[in-house]
Each structure stands twice: as C-alpha cells, then as structure tokens.
Amino acid sequence: MLDIPSLVRVHVDALIAAQNDMGVCDAIEQKRPVGKPAAMSAPHLPKVAGIDPAVPSPAHTHASLPSPAAHTPPGAVLQDRLAGWVSDLTTLHELTERLARTTVLDDALNELLKAGAALVGARRGLVVMEPADGLGPVVTTGLGLAHADLGHIETVPRSATAYGRILDGLPDAGGADLMADQDGLDPRHREVAARLGYAASYALPLTTEGSGRLGAAVWLYDESAEPVERQQHLVGLYIRYAAEHLARLVELERARTHVATIAEELLPSRLPRVARVQLAARHRTGPRGGGDWYDALPLPEGALGLAVGSVTGSGPSAVAAMGRLRASLRAYAVMEGEDPVAVLSDLELLLRLTEPARSATALFAYCEPAPRKIVLAGAGHAPPLIIGERRTEFVETSLSAPLGMLACWEAPSMELSPDPGETVLLYTDGLLRRTGAPMDRAFARLHAAAASVPKPVRDDPGAILDHVLRTLLPDGLDEADHAEDVVMLAARFV
C-alpha cells in the first residue's frame, strides 16, 4: 500500500564487515540504494521548537550515528535502526488504516489533519479542498481552529501563503513557511499570524496522477520551527496515500450530489395553494439516491390530489423510475382522479409493462377541501395518520400488494372526513426503517411522536412534520447519511 523505499538490506556480510573493523554503519551505507535519501532515524528525538516530543523521532544524519571509535556494539546500532524503521512502518500503517475506514469527505479531512499533525509535530492546521477541474466540492476544514480563525486566515492573500501558492498552481509551492525569517512577509499575513499565535507553517499539496491537484494541507506551529527530514518523509508518504483516498471520496461526493439534485428536481418545486387546505412536505434523500417521492396537484372543480410512493432499489435507475412513475400518476389523476382505484390500476398496468423487474408502493388521495372529504386507495403502502386535538390514529386502509406484484391490481378505496384543524399525514416506509426498530415498534413510535405534537404548533403542518422528525429520529438521524429515503406530506384542513 505504501511506497516506502528499501532503506537497507541486512546481510550477514554487514556483520562480517563490522567485525573486520569496517564498522556496521559503513557496511550498511554500502547497501543503501544510490540516490535514495536516508529517511529513517535513531530512536531519540532532539528538541525542536514547536515539535511535539511524542511524535516519532526525526531523520538521522551521518553525524548523529555512533562512530566506530565510540566502541558501540555493532548489533546495538543495527537494532536501534531496525526498531526505528519498524516503528515508522507501524505508525504509517495505523494512520492509513484509520483514514481508509472513513467513507465521508468531511471525516476523511479531519482524520488527515489529525494524522498529519502527529507526524509533523504541530498542534493546529487546516486543509482546503479546491479541485483543479473546478467541479468541486470546495471545502475548508480546520484542526484546533474556530470558524472565525479560518475566516481570518482566508483574508490573507493567497500568494502570500505556502498553501495558497499550492492552490494557485505556482511552481515550488509548499514546504515550510517561517514568519520570522521573511522580511518581505505580507503585512496582513504577519497580522493574522500574530493574532492567531502561530510562528511557522508547513504546507503540502494534495495531488494524484489521475485527478491532478485536489487541494492543500497546512499545519501551524506555535514557535518558529519546521519538521525535520524524517518527519517530512513520513508525512509525505502519508499524504500520497491520503490524496488517492480523497480523490475517490470526491468522486463519490460528486455522484451523490448529482443524484440528490436530480431527485429533488423530479419532486415538486413548490406545493400548490388550495383553499381550506394547508400543505407541507419534508424529503431526505439517502447517499445513493432513492425512489421515494410525493406529489400534490390541483385537480378540476377545486379538488386536490395527494400522493406518496416508493420505488424499489436505489441509485440513478431508481430515481429515473420514480420520475416516470410520478409523471404517469399525475396524468392519470387529472383524467380520473375521482376514482383512486382506477388511478392505481392504470399505474399498475404501466409498471407491469414498462418496468417488469421493478415493484413500487403508492397511495393516492382525492381530496375535496370544502366538505373535507377524502377518498383514498393504497397499493402496499403504509396507512395515513390523522393528527388532531381529540385523536391521533392511523387510517384503516384495505390490504393490497405493491404495484407490479400482481397480474392486475385492484383494492377497494375508503373514505374519511377529517375534522376542522386536523392534519392528515402521508409518509413512506423509509421514515419507519430509519428508526432501526421492528416495523410494529416503529409504527408505535410514530404514533407516539405524532400524539406529542405541542398544541401551539398544531395549526402549522410544517411544524408538525419537524416535531415528528425530531422525535422519531433523534440525534440527527433525520439528517444522517442513511441508506433510506424519508418522505412526509402533511395536509391540514381548516
């Protein structure tokens, strides 16, 4: 996984050479590949300002090694070197394994910053993702820096910072940037450095052969210091692997964004305004994009059509099938919306002919706002929920198979008349599945969440949906990167 050069080959002849007064160090030096830098070190770290002593030891030089005159046992020198190399390999393996376990771009950036800070001996840092192809995402993440601190750093001209020169694609960009050693330092850069309390920085590009420049990472030192040779070598190896991992996550993030955008465009851009009915909807799309959908459309004679549904599968194919199904249902609703059974029967025939390998659930309701009359039919879909001051109950709909699973679908419709001020809640089973509970318990939790809606917000369907989401899916599960879509549509009758 890691491209770590072979720094030394331990042969018997090295020990023989040492015994012949040649010296273990000289013997090992003969085995070193020509042109390869010495990147591993003695096991003890010299004191360097701003460097965390807990970080593995710096690169060795020839002067730091014991000379033959010191009468150091050859085996001890070799053991020290080998121990240092093993420690380095173990550290890199652990850090890259932790990075490989991240599946979200933000988590990967945070892990990169923490690992890099440990390797170079810094306490703070930031990473800026700004792919050279201009397709995004553009993200800035900090370690030990508040949002306001990142804002101050961004006010420094890009050409005045090492990481800014990397992002601008300037040659010889990156590396150490010592504030005290630069007489011509940009005044704003010096001011921000003094304000945030850092005296030096070390920046590296995030680049891959396939994707080009992705961004830059920079770590900040509290004192005027820079990583020693061995630390630079280790963090360089880590960054090479991290850039490849980030490139894969960037592509995945772009795909997710595209699918989510398409799914949102296939859903209503806004809900219609119909007299005596208040509407609200909530939609949460999973990372791969799913086939859950909703619709609300005005019909002739002041009627209103409400629909929710779910197509099996996920990804672009499910999103495309969802779009086709929703568009077809709108057409059938306009032609024969007064008969929800006929609407779903036509939809069943269409799905069976055009999508023979796919099934779907759907619920369609024909609403007459003035008399508060609703006629609905469902095909394998979860029952609606009525939320009011005097009752919170599920509507008993007839049992039926999902669309596409029978030769011909047909189930009886049913009628209900909500009282003034009551809200009819339609939803998809993704809302229940996100709870992680068995389906019967999920229904019970949904009922309890709806029953606990505070009285002051019962006249706002949007507030009702938000309360149910927060109660049923606590701790951010309503916004989590979950495989299940969530669709909720609420209609309050006045």
User: How many alpha carbons fall within 13 Å on the CB side of residue 127?
Assistant: 29
* Amino acid present at 189: H
The two beta strands, 373-379 and 385-387, are unpaired
Chain Cα centroid distance, residue 358: 29
Mean pLDDT value across the chain:
82
In-domain check, residue 6: no
Q: Assess whether 485 and 375 both reside in one domain.
A: yes
- Of 260, 295, 321, the residue that ends a domain is 260
Please indicate, yes or no, whether residues 476 and 327 belong to a single structural domain of this protein.
Answer: yes
The answer on 247 and 314 residing in a single domain is no
Q: Do the Cβ atoms of 435 and 445 come closer than 8 Å?
A: yes
- Indicate if 357 and 254 belong to the same structural domain: no
**Contact predicate 79/252, CB 8 Å:** no
CA dist 166 and 164 (Å) reads 5
Which position has the token pair 């930031």? 126
38 inside domain: yes
CATH of the domain at 169: 3.30.450.40
489 and 458 in one domain? Answer: yes
CATH classification of the domain holding 451? 3.60.40.10
184 and 298 assigned to the same domain: no
Same domain (yes/no): 193, 45? no
Model confidence band, residue 356 (pLDDT cutoffs 50, 70, 90): confident
Cα separation of 461 and 449, whole Å? 14
Domain identity same for 376 and 436: yes
Q: How far is CA 104 from CA 93, 480, 482, in A?
A: 20, 12, 12
Residue reference for tokens 């909703």: 294
How many structural domains are present in the chain?
3
Same domain (yes/no): 52, 157: no
Q: Is the pLDDT assigned to residue 166 strictly greater than 90?
A: yes
Instruction: Specify if 457 maps to a domain.
Output: yes
Token pair for residue 169?
């694609």
Most confident range, picked from 14-18, 82-86, 459-463: 459-463
Containing structural domain, residue 387: 267-493
Q: Which of 255-264, 265-274, 343-352, 415-424 has the highest mean pLDDT?
A: 415-424
Does the residue 3 lie in any domain? Answer: no
Who's near 118: CB < 8 A, 6+ residues apart?
52, 54, 55, 95
Q: 184-188, 191-195, 243-247: which has the minimum mean pLDDT?
A: 184-188
pLDDT in tens, 55-69: 444 333 333 444 444
| 4, part of any domain | no
Q: Which of 395, 449, 445 is nearest to 418 (CA)?
A: 395
Shared domain check, 322 and 354: yes
163/36 same-domain check: no
Q: At 188, give phi and psi (nearest 5°).
A: -65, -40
Look up the pTM and report it. 0.62
* Residue 81 sits in the same domain as residue 126: no
